[in-house]
């Protein structure tokens, strides 16, 4: 059964710092990996989708990497800003599962201090 883990659960950094969020999954049979952002009391916003055949995907200050063999993905945020403060979730749609859903990690709550 696929399990997705995110460490750390919370992170506080000063503005301007580059940072890395981690996501690990137990089964490498995935179609892709998606990173989402969730602001308090709001819905999830898709940030990046990285296909299982890709190693990296970039959008602005965000860069996601994927290493299927080790079951790991990282989300790199460059030059962090207070507006980046949110909870970041990773999720995978597993291949070897008869259900059609995303399996989410528990998230990393990020605070960027001015």
Partner 1 sequence: EAQVTQNPRYLITVTGKKLTVTCSQNMNHEYMSWYRQDPGLGLRQIYYSMNVEVTDKGDVPEGYKVSRKEKRNFPLILESPSPNQTSLYFCASSLSFIETQYFGPGTRLLVL
Residue from 12, 18, 45, 58 that binds partner 1 (CB under 8 A)?
45
Closest CA to 30 of 7, 57, 51, 5: 51
Q: Is 107 in the site for partner 1 (CB under 8 A)?
A: yes
- For residues 5 and 14, what is the distance between their CA atoms, to the nearest angstrom? 25
CB of 15 to partner 1, least distance (A): 28
Residue from 14, 43, 83, 114 that binds partner 1 (CB under 8 A)?
43
What is the torsion angle, in degrees rounded to the nearest 10, for the CA atoms of residue 111, residue 61, residue 44 and residue 104? -80
CB of 10 to partner 1, least distance (A): 14
Q: Which is nearer to partner 1, 14 or 60 (CB)?
A: 60
Q: Is 106 in the site for partner 1 (CB under 8 A)?
A: yes
Establish whether the linkage from the previous residue to 71 is cis, with ω within 30° of 0.
no
Q: Is 42 in the site for partner 1 (CB under 8 A)?
A: yes
Q: Is 44 in the site for partner 1 (CB under 8 A)?
A: yes
- What single string gives the DSSP state of each residue in 1-57? ---EEEE-SEEEEETT--EEEEEEES---BSEEEEEEE-TTS-EEEEEEEETT-SEE
Residues in touch with partner 1 (CB under 8 A):
31-32, 34, 36, 41-46, 49, 89, 91, 93, 99-102, 104-107
């Amino acid at each position: 059964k696929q399990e997705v883990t995110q460490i750390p659960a919370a992170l506080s950094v000063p503005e301007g710092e580059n940072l890395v969020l981690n996501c690990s999954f137990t089964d490498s049979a995935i179609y892709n990996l998606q990173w989402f952002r969730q602001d308090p009391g709001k819905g999830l916003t898709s940030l990046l989708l990285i296909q299982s055949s890709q190693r990296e995907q970039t959008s602005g200050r965000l860069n996601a990497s994927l290493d299927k063999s080790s079951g790991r993905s990282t989300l790199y945020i460059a030059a962090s800003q207070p507006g980046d403060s949110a909870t970041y979730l990773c999720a995978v749609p597993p291949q070897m599962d008869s259900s059609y859903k995303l399996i989410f990690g528990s998230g990393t709550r990020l605070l960027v201090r001015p």
